[in-house]
């Protein structure tokens, strides 16, 4: 696929290459996945240096406007930058929910003051954001959320609780959906920004089936929030929240968190190779267990089909055919592949794939177990697999709303 832009793009490539070579600490080469854990990532040292340099340059968010510290690059230039980073094993130290979800949404819906206050800090990776959407009684039916937000004249008063606020224990700020009108459902929701240091905010980490997790419960008790922290119009938060979820889903399906790449499960190497190690091979080099072999082949082919589809949607969106309908299937397809891989992995490991902790198991085996359990969340968060199917049915296939439901 030819890049467009010609000479200008070549000039930018040279500029990017020179800057990266001068500024990327070689010791960090290829270590992006291992180093970057949102909120809990190391500070200082080479990592801190690299983060500061990328933050100052704005290239952590290359296409965001320069006015707020972003890179101000064209999409074609951003792709060149990514290619040049890949070439030398460099990686983006600026990430998290601020970059992936909140920033793009605020750029679209925030007022000038809000953008000036919050965007530059995201650009520099200085502030961690968490998401206050789900509640104990509002999961897939998100719009039934009940966290109250009352207008007290010179401030908002917030009472209620949020669940699955991942990273809340490290977060500086939370973007929340709150209820400002109890007489309406979708039209009674507003989008509010809450400083996590405000008195009345309490965070409790949640222990999951896989053990420790980044997920938390967050409680708000008489939390006073400045009036200027409302994004968009009062009772107009649902539209903004839906837009933000689109950003979240496109991030989750990209083979990263969704599991198309499988990296999040901590298992390196291919599933077939793992099977040969644990199960053995026959004289022709085939995996000895024929039933397992066929299921592995099916999984392998699903993965390839997913990768080819990701490539196709990218090419289609670049070629001005407009957004590809295939985009809508990516979250379900990608998360299923990740879960299939995790299931196959522990099955291949046999009893060695059932360890919880301690001696008798390699770290890879223990990781496989935790990854298998933790990965079950991928078809629940970011809109469950069932909700994704509802969205495909309604938006893509044009089927009517199920009876008694509204979303």
Partner 1 sequence: MAVLTEEQSMLRDAARTWTQEKSPVTAFRKMRDAGMPLGYDPAAFAEMAEMGWTGVIIPEEYGGSDFGYLSLGLVLEETGRTLTASPLLSSALAAASAIILGGSDAQKGAYLPKIASGELVGTLAIDEGPHHAPEKVALEAKKSGSGYTLNGAKTFVLEGMAAGVYVVSARTSGKAGDKEGITLFLVPADAKGVERKALKLADSRGAANVAFKNVEVGADAVLGDVDKGGDLLEKVLDRARAGLAAEMLGAATQAFETTLDYLKTRVQFGQVIGAFQALQHRAAKMFTDLELARSCVEAALAAIDNDSPDTPELVSLAKAKMGDTLHLVSNEMVQMHGGIGMTDAHDAGLYLKRARAAEASYGGQSYHRDRYARLNGY
312 touching partner 1, by CB under 8 A: yes
Measured at the CA of 322, the angle between CA 318 and CA 328, to 5 degrees, comes to 100
Nearest partner of 337 among 213, 276, 280, 252, judged by Cα = 252
Nearest residue (CB) to partner 1, 210 versus 380:
380
- The 8-class DSSP code of residue 276 comes to H
Q: How far apart (Å, rounded) are the C-alpha atoms in residues 389 and 142?
A: 16
Q: Contacting partner 1 (CB under 8 A), which of 228, 315, 350, 360?
A: 315
Instruction: Please state the closest distance from residue 271 (CB atom) to partner 1, in A.
Output: 9
Residue 214 or 262 with smaller CB distance to partner 1: 262
Query: Is residue 389 involved in binding partner 1 (CB under 8 A)?
Result: yes
127 close to 178: Cβ distance less than 8 angstroms: no
* 126 vs 316 by CB, closer to partner 1: 316
Within 221-280, which residues bind partner 1 (CB under 8 A)? 272-273, 275-276
Q: Which of 73, 275 has the CB closer to partner 1?
A: 275
Residue 60's H or E segment, with its range, is none
User: CA 151 to CA 250: how far, in whole Å?
Assistant: 34
Q: What is the DSSP string of 186-220?
A: GGGEEEEEEETTSTTEEEEE--BTTBS-S-EEEEE
Helices vs. strands in the chain: H and E counts, helices first: 13, 8
352 binds partner 1 (CB under 8 A): no
CB closer to partner 1 out of 15 and 316 = 316
Q: Is 305 in the site for partner 1 (CB under 8 A)?
A: yes
Verify binding: residue 286, partner 1, rule CB under 8 A: yes
Return the number of the residue (180 or 309) whose C-beta is nearest partner 1: 309
CB of 141 to partner 1, least distance (A): 14
Segments in 97-175 forming alpha helices (H):
97, 103-109, 112-123
Instruction: Write the burial class of residue 402 (CB in 10 Å: 0-12 exposed, 13-18 middle, 19+ buried).
Output: exposed
Is residue 230 within 8 A of residue 192, CB to CB? The reply is yes
Contacting residue, 189, 333, 344, 349, with partner 1 by CB under 8 A? 333
Residues that bind partner 1 (CB under 8 A): 272-273, 275-276, 281, 285-287, 293-294, 296-298, 300-302, 304-306, 308-309, 311-312, 315-316, 319, 321, 325-326, 329, 332-333, 386, 388-390, 392-393, 396-403
């Amino acid at each position: 696929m030819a890049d467009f832009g010609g000479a200008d793009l070549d000039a930018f490539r040279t500029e990017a290459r020179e800057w990266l070579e001068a500024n990327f600490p070689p010791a960090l080469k290829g270590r992006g996945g291992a180093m970057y854990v949102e909120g809990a990532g190391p500070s200082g040292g080479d990592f801190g240096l690299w983060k500061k340099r990328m933050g100052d340059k704005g290239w952590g968010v290359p296409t965001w406007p320069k006015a707020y510290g972003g890179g101000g690059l064209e999409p074609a230039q951003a792709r060149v930058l990514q290619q040049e980073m890949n070439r030398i094993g460099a990686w983006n130290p600026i990430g998290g929910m601020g970059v992936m979800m909140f920033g793009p949404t605020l750029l679209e819906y925030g007022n000038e003051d809000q953008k000036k206050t919050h965007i530059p800090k995201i650009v520099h990776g200085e502030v961690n954001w968490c998401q206050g959407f789900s509640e104990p009684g509002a999961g897939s039916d998100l719009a039934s959320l009940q966290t109250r937000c009352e207008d007290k004249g010179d401030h908002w008063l917030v009472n209620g609780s949020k669940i699955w606020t991942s990273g809340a224990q490290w977060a500086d700020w939370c973007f929340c959906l709150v209820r400002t009108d109890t007489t309406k459902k979708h039209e009674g929701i507003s989008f509010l920004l809450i400083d996590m240091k405000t008195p009345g905010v309490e965070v409790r980490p949640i222990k999951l089936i896989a053990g420790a997790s980044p997920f938390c419960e967050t409680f708000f008790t008489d939390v006073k929030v400045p009036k200027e922290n409302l994004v968009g119009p009062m009772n107009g938060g649902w539209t903004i929240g839906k837009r933000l979820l689109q950003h979240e889903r496109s991030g989750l399906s990209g083979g990263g968190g969704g599991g198309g790449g499988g990296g999040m499960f901590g298992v390196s190497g291919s599933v077939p190779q793992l099977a040969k190690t644990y199960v053995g091979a026959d004289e022709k080099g085939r995996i000895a267990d024929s039933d397992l072999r066929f299921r592995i082949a099916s999984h392998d082919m699903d993965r390839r089909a997913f990768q080819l589809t990701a490539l196709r949607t990218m090419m289609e969106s670049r070629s001005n055919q407009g957004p590809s309908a295939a985009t809508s299937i990516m979250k379900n397809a990608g998360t299923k592949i990740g879960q299939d891989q995790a299931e196959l992995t522990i099955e291949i490991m046999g009893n060695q794939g059932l360890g919880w902790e301690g001696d008798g198991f390699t770290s890879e085996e223990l990781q496989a177990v935790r990854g298998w359990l933790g990965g079950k969340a991928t078809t629940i968060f970011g809109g469950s697999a069932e909700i994704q199917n509802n969205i495909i049915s309604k938006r893509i296939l044009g089927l009517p709303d199920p009876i008694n439901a509204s979303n």
